[in-house]
């Protein structure tokens, strides 16, 4: 059973790698961004609220995310999981750690895909035309990147400092298959 967290700023390729590794290990891919985007299709009050927050590049509340992830992990925790896009705040990581402790499950690998803002901006603009995601336009890139710097980077630093034997930094400027190879090598090593 393998439990993995992927970190990285928007556009770093964490979703792509999480999907590839999920198929490689045959472990469920839990992307909170994908789950939230599916909820937008409901067109109810919650969906309208989420749409406002997500299209502006801000973070959805910790309570909503913690409840989404814990209900999914109750199902997937026994088979392993790949978390993509969660935890994004220190409150979420606290919640996750308590939740996993209670069910005696630990994280085996934390991959932090690092990339600089210039490469990232170009990639997000390209992805925006391919996937027509409303939150990928130039106006919200900065908000999303700042959310990453203000919140999520603190979370990945927390794991780097406290879980150093499971934490790996990966160069996100490499090609997709090069990044995948690096990740697979790490998975094979242990």
Phi, then psi, of 114 in degrees rounded to 5: -105, 140
Which residue's CB is nearer to ligand AMP, number 8 or number 27? 8
Which residue's CB is nearer to ligand AMP, number 71 or number 165? 71
Which residue's CB is nearer to ligand AMP, number 77 or number 83? 83
**How near is the Cβ of 55 to ligand AMP at its closest, in Å?**
9
Which residue's CB is nearer to ligand AMP, number 124 or number 189? 124
**How near is the Cβ of 85 to ligand AMP at its closest, in Å?**
3
Say if residue 44 is exposed, middle or buried (CB neighbours under 10 Å; 0-12, 13-18, 19+).
exposed
**How near is the Cβ of 23 to ligand AMP at its closest, in Å?**
18
**How near is the Cβ of 168 to ligand AMP at its closest, in Å?**
20
Whole-Å CA distances, 170 to 8, 106, 112, 141: 9, 21, 6, 22
Q: What is the number of helices (H) and of strands (E) in the chain?
A: 9, 5
**How near is the Cβ of 10 to ligand AMP at its closest, in Å?**
5
Interface contacts to ligand AMP, rule CB under 6 A: 10, 32-33, 36, 53-54, 57-60, 65, 85-86, 88, 92, 135, 144
Q: Which residues contact 73 (CB under 8 A, 6 or more apart)?
A: 30, 81, 99, 100, 103
Residue nearest to ligand AMP (CB): 33
Which residue's CB is nearer to ligand AMP, number 52 or number 181? 52
Q: Which residue has the tokens 């928007």?
A: 10
Structure tokens at 32: 């909170």
């Amino acid at each position: 059973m393998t439990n993995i967290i992927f970190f990285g700023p928007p556009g770093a390729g964490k979703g792509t790698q999480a999907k590839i590794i999920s198929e490689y290990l045959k472990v469920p891919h839990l992307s909170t961004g994908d789950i939230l985007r599916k909820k937008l299709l409901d067109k109810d009050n919650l969906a309208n609220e989420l749409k406002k927050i997500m299209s502006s590049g801000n973070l959805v509340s910790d309570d909503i995310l913690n409840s989404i992830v814990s209900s999914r992990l109750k199902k997937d925790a026994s088979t392993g999981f790949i978390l993509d896009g969660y935890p994004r705040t220190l409150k979420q990581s606290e919640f996750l750690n308590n939740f996993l402790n209670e069910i005696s499950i630990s994280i085996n690998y934390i991959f932090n895909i690092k990339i600089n803002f210039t490469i990232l901006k170009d990639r997000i603009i390209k992805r925006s035309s391919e996937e027509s995601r409303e939150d990928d336009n130039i106006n919200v890139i900065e908000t999303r990147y700042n959310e990453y710097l203000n919140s999520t980077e603190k979370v990945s630093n927390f794991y780097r400092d406290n879980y150093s034997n499971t934490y790996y930094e990966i160069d996100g400027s490499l090609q997709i298959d090069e990044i995948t190879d690096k990740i697979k090598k790490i998975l094979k090593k242990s």
